[in-house]
Amino acid sequence: MKSLWDDREAAFFQDDELGLRVYSARLLGARPDLVLHGGGNSSLKARIRDFLGRELEALFVKGSGWDMKTIEKPGFPAVRLEDARLLAELDELSDPDMTRQLRAALLDPGAPSPSVEAILHAILPARFVDHTHADAVVTLTNNPDQERIVREVYPDCLVLPFVMPGFVLSKQVHHAMGGLDLDRIKGIILLHHGVFTWGDDARTAYENMIELVTRAEDYIEENGTADAVRASHGVDLFDLARIRRAVSRVRGTAQLAILDRSPDAQGYASRSDVDEIACRGPITPDHVIRTKRIPVILPKRTGEGVPEVEAFGETYRGYFERNRTEGLRMLDAAPRAGIWRETGTLAFGSSIEECGIITDLARHTRWAVQTGETLGGWQALSEAEIFELEYWSLEQAKLGRGARPGPHQGKIAVVTGAASGIGRATAAALAEDGAAVVGLDRHPGVREQFGDDGIICDVTDAPAVAEAIERIVERYGGLDIAVCNAGLFQSGELLEAQSDELWDRTIAVNLTATQRFLKAAIPYLKLGVDPSILIVGSRNYAAPGPGAGAYSVSKAGVTQLARVAALELAAAGVRVNVVHPDAVFDTGAWTQDALARSAARYDMTIDAYKKKNLMKTEIRAVDVGRLLSAMASDVFRATTGAQIPVDGGNDRVI
């Protein structure tokens, strides 16, 4: 592993030690094979003055909630060093007391809580201390022959057996270091966990870390092979949607299922021994809160109900019962990670971010596991030790910070005509309520608004629509909410002068394209979680106007289509509902000129024209979007085949 230290960059922080601390912590954070997603921690000891001007020794240690990759100065809260050191002298210290006393030792009570390893950082006498869970080191310390290997690779390090992180680990190090000459020790190797290094300057601590990790990498290169198996296979999207539904059922809430089909993920999933080597436990214990102890192993072709997921839940219950202590409540029994034979690895979670973390952990885990196998095998911590970590309140606290989940958390939605107007507002409302939303639009602006989740697609191109639906299922694991919004509105042609072209085009976009879209989406929606189809109709359906024949007929057509769909799909649990909005004017489609012309036709001011309804209110795109999102939620769980106006009240509709 190459050192990323750059003297010119470091020179910026000549008189700013905390700045230098941030700089080298970020060098560690930049390497995912050193620390991943909040793993690892760093610290600095420095003399500072407190608020009242008194000089004291402070420990700046990584605060919880910060990631080494992006950490900044406020991510290193300062605690009184002496207080933190004295805590290590205690014979016992409960987790709540440790958390409270470390907070009490903060110089700023508003700062984030210090890392659970703060006491350990305090007792190491060097000024800069670094800690990582480097893949290569963890691979060696998970070897059945770890003692021999570690002694050979790290004769100048203190090697300690696994104990629980936090106070217990601090005590272990405190005892082990008594009487040792620290100048002759390069670092601490914690079996099944990671590595600590230190130095009186930032560079020494950092480069000692790089050196120790490089030694592990060299050992692996000489004695094993880091080459992963690679493979390339197709995926059955219906099986993927079935797996996702089964996991959501056990979790009790909708989950995304993000598949990693990279050649090395498929290669790992194609190993004949994968069910055995992947199910020994995590490579470093703090992964357990993200991944659970083991992944679910799925056959290449799943059955209808995917019994393996249910069985995973049963196994988890057994694991809980075997290891529980008095008063402990079981977490949900759903898997977070999956190995899908020959197909790849799966991450299950409530958000794209959560799944991304699990996918990253899986990638590093399979590297370490397969590399370990070539070095004579790999073994994880015991089930009981992993359980203790999984149910450790200080670990679980790391997960509990998210905002309250929205009604669509973990759900997958598609909106047509998403680049503007009602479609755009609906996509925003669904996303705000927690859904992963993919926008379809023939306008390229959909890419700017949705990034990779924007698909340029003309709804009248049926094969392109079907392909778009498949892309969504492949990306997120299924489909739950389909909003048929794309539409065309042109009026001003009386029937006797109706152009065939406008008629055909209106029917094609507003009606036929909706039928084709539903045809492609329904098979996946039937496998969705609380699935729902939403059709954007129009006030014109119940209250048509002269000169809008093609439009009114097309909206009557989709309304009838929705009623039939509601009848056909109720048995599969798919709800189908329609909203009938009046014109929304807060979109690009309505220019000032067009508004003025329409208002003049009714002999109204523009303002009066916009509010020509019983409640004298303007209908905005966001009103329609929020209603559609609500209708996809379980507030409307018992409603299907309904038509709801969003028109401010219209005497012809009422």
Residues annotated as catalytic (active site), given as ranges: 551
Nearest to 338 by CA among 281, 231, 228, 258: 258
**Ordered strands of the 55-61 beta sheet:** 78-80, 55-61, 41-49, 128-132, 194-199, 187-190, 157-160
Question: What's the number of CA atoms in the CB half-sphere (13 Å) around residue 346?
Answer: 34
- Distance, in Å, from the CA atom of 358 to the CA atom of 35, rounded to the nearest integer, reads 14
Q: Which span (137-145, 186-194, 263-271, 481-489) binds Zn ion, by CB under 5 A?
A: 186-194
Nearer to Zn ion by C-beta: 31 or 442?
31
The residue sitting closest to Zn ion, measured at its beta carbon, is: 194
Amino acid at 565: A
Nearer to Zn ion by C-beta: 131 or 539?
131
Torsion sign across C-alpha atoms 555, 559, 564, 569: positive
DSSP calls for 255-316: -EEEEE--HHHHHHHH-TTHHHHTTS--SSGGGHHHH-SSPEEE-SS--TT-HHHHHHHHHH
- Residues in contact with Zn ion, shown as a per-residue x/- string from 138 to 177 under the rule CB under 5 A: ----------------------------------------
Nearer to Zn ion by C-beta: 115 or 302?
115
- Residues in contact with Zn ion, shown as a per-residue x/- string from 416 to 445 under the rule CB under 5 A: ------------------------------
The least CB distance from residue 38 to Zn ion, in Å, is 10
- Distance, in Å, from the CA atom of 652 to the CA atom of 552, rounded to the nearest integer, reads 15
The least CB distance from residue 166 to Zn ion, in Å, is 10
User: Do the Cβ atoms of 378 and 280 come closer than 8 Å?
Assistant: yes
The least CB distance from residue 194 to Zn ion, in Å, is 5
- Residues in contact with Zn ion, shown as a per-residue x/- string from 616 to 645 under the rule CB under 5 A: ------------------------------
DSSP calls for 217-230: HHHHHHHS--PPP-
The least CB distance from residue 388 to Zn ion, in Å, is 15
The least CB distance from residue 397 to Zn ion, in Å, is 15
**Ordered strands of the 296-298 beta sheet:** 256-260, 344-349, 337-340, 296-298
Nearer to Zn ion by C-beta: 162 or 320?
162
Nearer to Zn ion by C-beta: 194 or 439?
194
How distant is the alpha carbon of residue 468 from its chain centre? 22
Query: Tokens representing 220?
Result: 């692996």
Nearest to 562 by CA among 528, 514, 525, 626: 514
- Residues in contact with Zn ion, shown as a per-residue x/- string from 188 to 207 under the rule CB under 5 A: ------x-------------
The least CB distance from residue 64 to Zn ion, in Å, is 13
Site size with Zn ion, rule: CB under 5 A: 1
Amino acid at 563: R
Nearer to Zn ion by C-beta: 194 or 648?
194
**Strand ranges inside 315-429, DSSP E:** 337-340, 344-349, 412-416
The overall longest dimension of the chain from CA atoms, in Å, is 102
Nearer to Zn ion by C-beta: 114 or 194?
194
Instruction: Indicate the length of the chain as a whole number.
Output: 654
Q: What are phi and psi of 397, to 5 degrees?
A: -60, -25
- Distance, in Å, from the CA atom of 387 to the CA atom of 324, rounded to the nearest integer, reads 8
The least CB distance from residue 131 to Zn ion, in Å, is 6
User: Do the Cβ atoms of 295 and 277 come closer than 8 Å?
Assistant: no
- Distance, in Å, from the CA atom of 39 to the CA atom of 79, rounded to the nearest integer, reads 21
Nearer to Zn ion by C-beta: 284 or 633?
284
The least CB distance from residue 165 to Zn ion, in Å, is 6
User: Do the Cβ atoms of 459 and 416 come closer than 8 Å?
Assistant: yes
Contacts to Zn ion by CB under 5 A: 194
